[in-house]
Amino acid sequence: MNHMQGQRPIRNVVITSPSPAEGKSFTAANLAITQAQLEGNYVLLADFDFRRPSIHHLFQIDRSPGLTDYLQGKVLLEQCIKRIEGTNLFVMPAGESVNNPLELLNLPEAKRVIDYLSTLFRWMIIDTPPLLFAADANLLSTLCDASVLVVRVGATTVDSVTRAMQSLCQNNILGIIVNAAHRGELYSKFTYYHSYYYSKPD
């Protein structure tokens, strides 16, 4: 990611998965922690999964105030961002539960806040709902610089990967993270995913 950032302007990245329980939030959190450990890297981890947010649980912080509160005009932006003590990592939780998450994400303010926060941090890592269960991640991928797909060995099907890739903007995909793979499985199972997807005729 850091190499690619030197090649083209990438400041914010959507982390998503085809289906639930594939490890996207855990992956997003670990990616943000890793980036924040690099000298001079100020990183924001933002929970845009308004349907089933989990970032606040992972860091044991309050869910609100957060993004939904800000987008509804209830709080100031700085009230939603919490710094993890002793690190360069900042976390923005999802905020209070809302009836229509997609309606909030369609507000012009959602794009504006992503663009603004991306000027303040080296990386903005964005956790979203799964691609095949809500339109939120598809929308967010059009608002952001790049997307990363998380798949889980033994759980994610080839059909799910194919449909998820097709739903994203192809030029916007940085890559795929393979989760829960044992060393031997990387060469057997994921090679099958790769060869199946990329060998299919157009």
* pTM (whole model) above 0.95: no
Q: Which of 102, 202, 193, 112 is nearest to 149 (CA)?
A: 193
Angstrom distance (rounded) from CA 54 to CA 191: 31
The arithmetic mean of pLDDT across residues 102-112, rounded, is 95
Q: Map residue 73 onto helix, strand or coil.
A: coil
Domain CATH code at residue 79: 3.40.50.300
CB-CB neighbours of 26 under 10 Å: 17
- 39-91 residue pLDDT tens: 889 999 999 999 999 999 999 999 999 999 999 999 999 999 999 999 999 99
Angstrom distance (rounded) from CA 1 to CA 13: 10
CB 146 within 8 A of CB 19: no
Host domain of residue 146: 2-199
pLDDT at 158: 84
Q: Sorting pLDDT into bands at 50, 70 and 90, what band is 186?
A: low
| Count of the separate structural domains present in the chain | 1
Angstrom distance (rounded) from CA 123 to CA 78: 17
